[in-house]
Structure 1
């Protein structure tokens, strides 16, 4: 079910339940929900998701901490960058104290396709009189057709043409003109005008969409459903993966809310009251997760659960395994 952001008074209870169970994706949804409403609660969920291995959570947590807890912010920027988060690499390339480390991260971000990093690397090389290499990276930034850099911007900034492609075009105009390559400089000046118009249109559209967009979270709490795990374990090994996919699809089709979801993934919370097992699963669950689920031994799982209470199975994409969570039985 899709909800307008402005109409949400609280997040879906199923989403909160999955986050409490340890589902890092649900934690991220909650963190984004609270980001503007309650920054402290957002920080709590970003922190939990970061500690569960979500690189984007590490980066968003660093963004929240920047300016008030610089050391912690740098710690999480570095963790995210080391986990392969592109924006965090760029942040390390522009904020860390050590010049060599800063340069290394900037180049790493540029080589991995970050448009702003290409621009900044080109400028840094130009300032060191390395014109040929500077031109290479400025061209790479100017010709970048990705949209990873696009964010809602202040309208005044949009009109000023602060996107990396436009800036890179202007930097090339200056660099080429200084080398006497006047015709080429003129071509990049013309291109800068076209890029400015494109960046302004795309950013304005994104800004409007962000201001009025929707957050799509559908939570299905299914009790007394086909015991998902038991049904899966009963299948022959070679057929387990296909049965898993079919079961997920059948369960999701049962939910009337599913037909109302226009985009985004659906969260399924399947509860088997007899086996005291609860399974958190997203509709776009990876093949890797389903194969790992199919290989679980239900009897062994039940016998070796952390305690005598209910057990919860949650997929952790960071280390590609199913987490087993437990609680104490009712007294």
Structure 2
């Protein structure tokens, strides 16, 4: 990462301003002062110029707000994601009695159901999308946090101590990176399903599988950075002042890794969102009636020829979310490391 070129320094006058193209002070009471911008100020300046990254950031903020405010939004909307409309006199107006498909175009879109209802059950699609966003973000966020804690801690230890510790941890990373994660996920979730059918247990298993098997990626990044940073002058200066290994690792080296960690986070969250959606699509994800975009895709697959709108909406939600995180992550990486982007 770089601090930027010299022309990115901000010149300000001692008495409040400069005049002319030559940056001359307005009076002769004092010389101009040179004020350098911090790394984060320069990164924010570059990031603001990246329109795709800023657009992705706006979408991410909106997605988080919609997921966090799903309950009050559903109350204002007047629908419950778990409520079914497939019985009684109401069902005859919403679902075809013979096919149990929504009456009307686009899954029965109406003033009451803005994005239509699901086949068979007659559940509101919009509220399922809102609460499905919460499910995806919570699982992806917790899985990413788990991988960050393991990857940063073990990568820091491996790169700092080197020797046999580095060898052992590196071999563990190699084994996990070559492990068939999907097959292990199916086996582990199936076994835990026989032990307990509680929704929280399934949540915990999904978070563990997604987070535990992805920590070697950030672990390798951190290890490579630490191998270089541990030889820098500021580390030698801290050691000469009597600082211990723990102090050097967490107070001197770790702050220099914030940039790569942030970039990894923005790219790991969409990957874990896709992982959760894939497990739910296979039927081993979250347990219904908890909404999930992957579960919606799985349910909609059987009606794609009759009601493609039901399949299109969760697919579009996943596509937009993953694209937004990836655009913002790429922009953040380029902002923090402009030489790498060039």
TM class, shorter-length:
under 0.3
Report the TM-score, using the length of structure 2 for normalisation.
0.25
Looking at both structures, which has the greater relative contact order when contacts are Cα pairs under 8 Å and sequence separation is at least 6?
2
Structure with higher helix content: 2
Report the TM-score, using the length of structure 1 for normalisation.
0.26
Structure with higher strand content: 1
